[in-house]
Structure 1
Amino acid sequence: MLKGKKLLFVLTMMTGFCLLAGCGKNNKDGKTVIELVQYKPEATSYFEEVEERFNASHDDIELKISSPNDAMTVLKTRFVREDNPDIIGIGGDINYSNFIDADMLMDISDFDGLADIKENYLTICENLKFIPTEGTYSVPYVANAAGILYNRDMFEEHGWTIPETWDELLALCDEIKAEGILPFYMGYKDTWTCLSPWNSAVASLTSSTVCKDVNKGETTFSDQYVQVAEEMKTLLQYGEANPVAYSYNDACTAFAKGESAMYMIGSYAVPQIQSVNPDINIDSFVFPASNNKDDMVLTSGVDLQFCVMEDCPNKEAAYEVLRFLLEDENVQDYIDNQNAVPCKKGDFKLASMLDGMREYLNNGIVTDYQDHFYPSEMAVDALIQTYLLDGDTEAFLKKFDTEWKRYNRDLITKVRKYEQEHSGEEE
């Protein structure tokens, strides 16, 4: 029976009900069945190949992988029905934080494969915990990176140089605009696209712990986000005349056709862009939000991580699946399939559009996407879009603080209680 925090979580978080037959955990033909449900349907073909290769090479374990659309809704429904898979593949975001808080994930600190994961991505996952919790609950698999994509051929033709400060970025935009070319295509009709430049600016202009600091009562977003908000507004003059009239697909298409020199988006957009223009020569650079070059940090969050469910009855078999997924050949195949960034240490070949970010990736100069800490109910993307339409920075930030308290009331209470109870302990 589900009890306590688990029951409260699944009843609160379930957004729909999907009936599907869950895989049993009984042995089949003498094999232990391990079921993995992962949330990236665009990677279905990769996981089908992994499943086939694993089963062909293992006599004692049968791996079953499913990649449903709207996987988080499917998973939350299954949690209610007490029909948990053995392993889940999810992003490093607030859903992961909620699962830890509800005691639904297994502590896998003893998994030997963790030693092969880059420390900065382990830290990113650790920071997603609402309050300090002993243990490790995920294996970071791949990440993505967000900053500014640019048309390499266009830059070479015009002799434009990559900016390393905020002032240099504005000067570059003015230079591009003076030549009759649109610096950016934005595509803010789809509200989530507003979050890409927002996350990139926040990375260099605020602390990675700002959301936790707000929850502790140590600061406010009105204090921390002023420059971020002002920069977002400033950049509007360098985009299409009405950015909220054009969607993500419109922006990808326009950039692919050379209608803008740059695009403020993550590496995940490249396949969509290349579907329009397979020959486009794309590179990228870190969003230079600060005038201090030393402040520059690349936004790179964990795009896919694997977690073993707390009630998985076949821990060692689940670990064997994780080891297989972490084999270099499989990691490289995923990188090639999805233009991803490996969380595993090693000499992996990255897509060429990440060349301009390679230094930051190799040296671990990365931080998580700030929106991974935002509750989905708060709809921060819509708040940003509305702000960009009316331009009232003070009112926007005041609303941000108000809405944050509204949607994080219980979490804030829990965090401050924890802080009070542990105020005399050394960090």
Structure 2
Amino acid sequence: MTRTALLLLTGALLLAACGTRPADTRVTLEFFQFKPEAIETFDRIIEGFEAAHPGIRVVQNHTPTAESAIRARLVKDDVPDVMALNGNGVFGELARAGVFYDFSTAAVRVYPPVQRILDDLGTHRQGERNGLPFASNGSGVIYNKDLFRRHGVRPPATWSELVAAARTFEAAGVTPFYATLADAWTVLPAFNALAANAAPPGFFERREAGQTSFAAAYPPVAGKLRELFGHSQRDRHSRTYEDGNLAFAQGKAAMYLQGSFALPAIAAARPGFEPGTFALPATDDPGGTRLVSGVDVALTLPREPEHPREAMTFIEHLLRPEVMNAYAREQRAVPPLENATSPDPALAGLMPYFTQGRLSGYADHHIPLTIPLEQLLQQFLIDGDQARLLRELDEEWDKVAARSTS
């Protein structure tokens, strides 16, 4: 055989070999998620899923501007196959618009009190379920266990005990609460806890119906908010959230009005520091206190998925208890499961509220995004003008209502 013939034969064999290589017939799903700190965690979850489901490939897509990105893609009718989004007011707005799948007949189920928090944000139609909780958070008070022990203070269970604890620390030269009002949003955890427990039940439904007002129902919320921040350090208006995480980790205050989402940053600032948590008591009825909790991660699909069977298979995998528990351990979250437990000692003070279903969603998620709530609260904590705060909340609410009916 000549050299030329040999080369031709070799080339033909190589072409034949390439032609018989099996094509990648896997279904590819785009998994869009919004948490940068969870990229590696989700990579591990995806790896386990693909090993168990070799016919499905999952590509994780993360963007730091998730809400803007999702809105832009909805306009282009380019919706990811599976989404992990923040269960907030934007999620409720999109759910009401009918862009998310209806899970009401799906077999997957999560803890009903947590599901209710997500559903209360908004659904496309009554009875629909447009998202499924994957991870929850708790928003109350983070406290320094060492300072509490040193000054003989127990985690308060009533408003009177909370105020007494603040005064005890002040008398000992310890800052009761570290506040970070340079970032306006950091007033919201305390506001939400007070709104959940000191405002009348069903306030937002009645406000939408024109049957009440902030001026009539929210004086206890505003008054107690002002009192809480009155027990914080003098430079509270110039301190940022990052300042607060570091200062609290360094022991510069006994308490921190933040949610469980602040725990990783505190731990990073001082490895080995183990704070505790308790629900903020807004009344003197300890049995009536509810913990403010949000759906930190909500799972959903497009209204009409391109690959419904494969997408639902991935959703079912994510909602397996062992997967949710593993995610919660790594991200210091709470799995939305009945009788949920967390190995994180910092969350021990919040867990009874989850197991007992004594939960309430974030009040600010029910306030239209066009109302500058954070800035109004920030200004109130500067000037102390309660009447002005409540009047402006009502005026802004009425403006939104007028635009929506015009």
Q: Distance in 2 between matches of 1:249 and 1:331?
A: 28
Q: Which residue does the alignment assign to 1:241?
A: 234
Which protein shows a greater Rg? 2
Whether the 8 Å contact between 1:193 and 1:265 is mirrored in structure 2 is yes
Whether 2:73 is the aligned partner of 1:96: answer no
Mapping 1:242-391, distance limit 5 Å: 242-345=235-338, 348-391=341-384
For residue 131 of structure 1, report the CA deviation from its aligned partner. 8.0
- Check 1:410–1:104 CA distance in 2 against 1; reply closer, same or farther (3 A cut): farther
- Check 1:287–1:90 CA distance in 2 against 1; reply closer, same or farther (3 A cut): same
Whether the 8 Å contact between 1:205 and 1:295 is mirrored in structure 2 is no
Q: Which residue does the alignment assign to 1:423?
A: none
Secondary structure of 2:156 counterpart? coil
Whether 2:145 is the aligned partner of 1:167: answer no
Q: Distance in 1 between matches of 2:374 and 2:386?
A: 15
Deviations 1:85-114 (A, max 9, x none): 112111221112211221111112222112
2:216 maps to amino acid: D
Q: Distance in 1 between matches of 2:180 and 2:243?
A: 6
Q: Distance in 1 between matches of 2:364 and 2:350?
A: 21
Secondary structure of 1:91 counterpart? strand
For residue 245 of structure 1, report the CA deviation from its aligned partner. 0.7
For residue 315 of structure 1, report the CA deviation from its aligned partner. 1.3
Q: Which residue does the alignment assign to 1:81?
A: 76
Q: Distance in 2 between matches of 1:349 and 1:237?
A: 33
Whether the 8 Å contact between 1:48 and 1:65 is mirrored in structure 2 is yes
Whether the 8 Å contact between 2:332 and 2:344 is mirrored in structure 1 is yes
For residue 237 of structure 1, report the CA deviation from its aligned partner. 2.5
Whether 2:107 is the aligned partner of 1:112: answer yes
Q: Distance in 2 between matches of 1:185 and 1:347?
A: 30
Deviations 1:116-139 (A, max 9, x none): x11101111221127862321111
For residue 147 of structure 1, report the CA deviation from its aligned partner. 0.6
Runs in 1 of length 4+ with deviation above 4 angstroms?
none
Q: Distance in 1 between matches of 2:125 and 2:219?
A: 29
Q: Which residue does the alignment assign to 1:404?
A: 397
Q: Distance in 2 between matches of 1:223 and 1:340?
A: 36
1:141 maps to amino acid: F
Whether the 8 Å contact between 1:339 and 1:350 is mirrored in structure 2 is no
Q: Distance in 2 between matches of 1:225 and 1:236?
A: 17
Q: Distance in 1 between matches of 2:134 and 2:201?
A: 21
1:381 maps to amino acid: E
For residue 348 of structure 1, report the CA deviation from its aligned partner. 3.9
Q: Distance in 1 between matches of 2:176 and 2:248?
A: 10
Q: Distance in 1 between matches of 2:377 and 2:65?
A: 25
For residue 410 of structure 1, report the CA deviation from its aligned partner. 4.6
Q: Which residue does the alignment assign to 1:425?
A: none
- Check 1:278–1:341 CA distance in 2 against 1; reply closer, same or farther (3 A cut): same
Q: Which residue does the alignment assign to 2:44?
A: 49
Q: Distance in 2 between matches of 1:314 and 1:218?
A: 45
For residue 160 of structure 1, report the CA deviation from its aligned partner. 0.8
- Check 1:246–1:158 CA distance in 2 against 1; reply closer, same or farther (3 A cut): same
Whether the 8 Å contact between 1:151 and 1:283 is mirrored in structure 2 is yes
Secondary structure of 2:215 counterpart? helix
| Structure 2 unaligned regions, length at least 5 | 1-22
Secondary structure of 1:79 counterpart? helix
Moved more, 295-304 or 121-130: 121-130
Q: Distance in 2 between matches of 1:291 and 1:131?
A: 38
| Structure 1 unaligned regions, length at least 5 | 1-27, 415-427
Whether the 8 Å contact between 1:92 and 1:372 is mirrored in structure 2 is no
Whether the 8 Å contact between 2:98 and 2:124 is mirrored in structure 1 is no
Secondary structure of 1:99 counterpart? helix
For residue 159 of structure 1, report the CA deviation from its aligned partner. 1.5
- Check 1:106–1:131 CA distance in 2 against 1; reply closer, same or farther (3 A cut): closer
1:388 maps to amino acid: L
1:277 maps to amino acid: R
TM-score normalised to structure 1 length: 0.86
- Check 1:211–1:113 CA distance in 2 against 1; reply closer, same or farther (3 A cut): same
- Identity percentage of aligned residues: 28
Moved more, 249-258 or 323-332: 323-332
Q: Distance in 2 between matches of 1:169 and 1:394?
A: 25
Q: Distance in 2 between matches of 1:346 and 1:284?
A: 19
Deviations 1:361-391 (A, max 9, x none): 1111010011111222212011100011111
Secondary structure of 2:310 counterpart? helix
Q: CA RMSD in A?
A: 1.7
Aligned length: 384
- Check 1:288–1:327 CA distance in 2 against 1; reply closer, same or farther (3 A cut): same
2:269 maps to amino acid: V
TM-score normalised to structure 2 length: 0.91
Q: Distance in 1 between matches of 2:258 and 2:138?
A: 9
Q: Which residue does the alignment assign to 1:3?
A: none
Q: Which residue does the alignment assign to 1:147?
A: 140
